[in-house]
Chain A
Amino acid sequence: MSHGFAVVKRGVIALLCGSICLAPNEVVAADEALSEQAYLQDLPVILSASRLSQPLSEAPNAVTVIDRQMIKASGFRTIADLFRLVPGMYVGNAGANFPIVSLNGVTDQYSRRMQVLVDGRSVYLPPLGGVDWLDLPLLIEDIERIEVVRGPAAASHGSNSFYGVINIITRDAASMNVNTVSANKGEMGISDVSAHLGKAGNDFDYRLSFGYRSDGGDNPQILNDTSSNRLLNLRTAYRPDTDNSIDFQFGMNDGVYGMGTAGRPEDAFRNVLTTNDFQQLGWTHTWYNGDETKLTYNRTARDFTDPYKCIDIPLCKSSLSLQGFGQDAATIQRQDTELQNTTQLGNYNRAVWGGGVRYDYVDQPLIFTSPITLRETRLFAHDEWRMTESALMNVGGMYEDDGAGHKSTSPRIAMNYHLVPQHTLRASVSSATRNPMMAEMYMNTAHGAYWTNAYAPPANDLRPEKILSKEIGYVGQFDAVTMDARVYYDKVQDIIMLDAYVDGNLSNRTDSFKNLFDATYKGLDVSVKYHWESGNVTANYSRQQASCAFSSYPTQYFNPVIGPTLAQAYQTDYLNLCSQSVPTNGGSMLLSQQLFESFQYSVGYYLRSQVRVTDVTSGFPPESQMRRVDMRLARTFGQKEKPGGGELAVVVQNAFQDNYTGYGNVPQRMDLLFNRRAYFTATLNF
């Protein structure tokens, strides 16, 4: 056969030629750019399981995402206002410098039933709970996106993820490719300026933002709701090698916030001073198989000084000599350490599990007899089980000990089924607990020394509030349209409320806190997004109903002397008004359209039917219906996100002057309006 001979011939030739020798130094190095390394190089796992966000169609809860584009198009200057873009969410104001944000209705101006995280750090602070939205050391321009989980999510977001979770994700230091200065100037004393600097490198990135923000308030003659704030925020990321990353964040701000109501001597016009700072250090290690371990430590400190707090209301009211006032100072510190692992278990399971310890300290002499320290510990585990190509189960839970004698477990199970890849049904049952806040457990003041009445710690231990939420949802895609809808039924037990006249003394009213109410919330919400080549629109609608009943009775409910009056008051002021604590209809629509080459136009429409915050009692009207339109027109110049480029814009809020009223639990506040306001913004990249 010919091939046999051919082999022989070449074999002989090779033998005759002898061996071919090459010295090592004769090796010609191939041009690096043309070498095979581009194909053969090993690369680190970058988009690891924990870095990939769950798509909305596979999340165990309904989630609303507000991204940078929406933040800009909305024209909003404050973070709290952004939540108007979330179906079912209440955004109100106890004055222009005290925004209130809540789901499932609001009890009072301290919205205590949502977890709020900034890059995983809880900013829901003691002693009263809730978030002081204007006083966060965070500039709105530094937000990459906000994910709002509508429903209990303790299994994945920790304690107090009760009605929902607001998860704010700031811009990655690595995303900073240009420096920016921006300024806002407008009516009602709007005057903001900020600078955002940053640089991304191969192993080190940083971004640094600082700014000043000031607002003259909505109704400065009646309500001292001015605010000004200086902020600094730094984020760095260092990657010593491909498997490890160290993220450090630091932020601080000091604010001056007006307080006081005209005609109320006990609520005199004055300025409250605050300082906040935080440090956060995170170490992320990616294992060879893509699993990830993350260890995070953060520390938050907040100081608050009200220099002219009325500490003797009768004296403040009666005296013309300005007596009865004192200083209300609070020092709040939090430290939190958490270890979180993301583990791929076989091909079909991805688990997130870990634990944490949190230490809270509050010293506020006016309401607590001594400083209070709590140490909360928690364990959590969550598994995403891909049962089949179409079916996904999310199952998990959290165990928590709040350090005040309350131990609780919050499980969750959700099933997502892809009817076809573009259409998904979700059914979930989830639970969460809200631990009593320090003020509810330990507040101890004399009559008129802090608020109108005296407050005493509860005689019987408070139980954590519990929520069980059942939900059926749908997530669908139709070409350029995405849709997210759900119906839900939430059962809340043991809501902590004021326990009035707790000692039965009629002449010197002393209140306490007690688990008093059960509530049910049911409703539906729908979000639709549509995008086309030069624009997009997002529309949200929600319909809600609430009902409440006693779970146990106020301490003096059966007192023969005051019981009947008390029963009547609870019926009139709480139970009868419960259905008003949620707006029956709510919605928003944000349209953004590119015009020509360099203009962008956006319109926001915000609808909310009347609503009553629970502590606005029957003697006051509810907040009236809101039908508000905001508009923004921007002109860009230069290249986008390039030095020399930038934008000029004008924003008009409440453009058609819809006369809707806000939160008001005293006569002077109940008719205050949010007036039309316009402001200009200028942004320059360098």
Chain B
Amino acid sequence: MRRIVFPAVALLLVCISTVQADPLHVTVVLSDEGGAYQTFSDSLRSQLQTDRVVLNVQRASQTLGQSDIYVAVGMNATAVLSSRDVPTLSVLVPQAGYEQLLKTSAQHGKPHSAVFLDQPLQRQVALLLAALPATRQVGVLYEVPQPELQSLRRLLADKGIHLHDRIVGKAQSLNDALESILNESEVLFVLPDSEVYNGGTIRNILLTAYRKQVPLVGISQAYVKAGALCAVFTTPEQVARQAAGLIERYAESGKLPAPQYPSDFEVSVNKQVARSLEIHIKDADQLRDAIRRTQ
């Protein structure tokens, strides 16, 4: 991807410089400081580094300056910009959150698009199949109803895998739901529900799963670092490259494409956990190639 986007952006900017002297104003609006937001912003700046582009970075809480296009980084920034009639590209946002926000916001016809944080379900299932091909029973836990659950169930069923689910809530505590789901599952598939999975609960979840010799498939590098077996995810740098491509298309056509999943991704594997659970897993590059072949 890097090989394609870099020359494309460079060519675009060379063309701009020869024909049009006015720079493109891009304003990056960060939901928060530091972390992934800052990494994305720095990476986008390096992607668009030329005197034909003026890139401003600001917090969502600050007064917005004028710009040709806004890049909303995270949900807070997206929330700010969704109520404004300005061309906006949202990044580092989950699909469900983005769609719900846009549903409730008044739209005035200005292009609005996004690169989601979520991985397409097919990609997540492809990881599961590549990493743990013998799996037949997969478990999920959630507190907030997950819109994609039925799609996931169908996708897994097509591969002969049964999906078990438990709702965490008043009727069933996290511990009860966890014990129960782990008794039925060979793999616990993490869903993006921070009510269930957060810094306070992850210890109990990982230790209980480990005790029952059930691996977790996570949704980010942090999960793998904490003790999940593997995860497929997109780095802020990869999102920045995709965003740069979309900005290029916008510059060319004045249009933004439909919201989309991240096109590039990484796979991370916790080899120590795999070894301890005696799971013979391929390495991260092999898994990434295996996923790519399915797409």
Contact = CB atoms under 8 A, between A and B. Distances in A.
Nearest to B67: A14
Given A33-B144, A45-B226, A477-B278, A4 B207 contact: no
B86 to A, nearest CB: 7
A43 B199 contact: yes
Contacts of A26: 80
Contacts of A641: 179
B249 to A, nearest CB: 9
Interface in A1-28: 1-11, 14-15, 17-24, 26-28
Interface centre among A4, A37, A200, A641 (most CB of B within 10 A): A4
A7 B66 contact: no
B97 A22 contact: no
A53 B278 contact: no
A53 B35 contact: no
A422 B280 contact: yes
Contact of B272 (A24, A40, A52, A239): A52
Interface string B156-195: 0000000000000000010110010001000000001111
A3 B75 CA distance: 29
A681 to B, nearest CB: 21
Interface stretch (A171-179, A292-300, A590-598): A171-179
B20 A5 contact: yes
Given A14-B68, A33-B193, A52-B273, A57 B75 contact: no
Interface in A24-43: 24, 26-43
A21 B15 contact: no
Nearest to A24: B61
Contacts of B257: none
Q: What's the dominant secondary structure at chain A's contact region?
A: loop
Given A8-B20, A17-B66, A43 B101 contact: no
Contacts of A37: 194
B117 interface: yes
Contacts of B263: none
Interface residues of B, number: 85
Nearest to A177: B175
Nearest to B74: A36
B10 interface: no
Interface of A: 1-11, 14-15, 17-24, 26-49, 51-58, 144, 172, 174-175, 177, 200, 202-203, 239, 242, 290, 421-422, 477, 640-642
Interface of B: 12, 15-16, 19-20, 22, 24-25, 31, 35-36, 60-69, 74-76, 78-80, 82-84, 86-87, 92-94, 96-97, 100-101, 117-118, 143-144, 173, 175-176, 179, 183, 192-195, 197-204, 206-208, 210-211, 219-220, 222-223, 225-227, 233, 251-254, 270, 272-273, 275-278, 280
16 contacts: A6-B253, A7-B16, A11-B68, A19-B63, A34-B144, A36-B117, A39-B118, A40-B92, A41-B194, A43-B222, A43-B223, A43-B226, A49-B272, A57-B278, A175-B211, A177-B179
Given A6-B252, A10-B69, A36-B75, 7 more contacts: A1-B15, A8-B20, A19-B66, A24-B62, A32-B195, A40-B117, A202-B201
4 nearest CB pairs, A to B: A47-B227, A34-B97, A30-B75, A4-B20
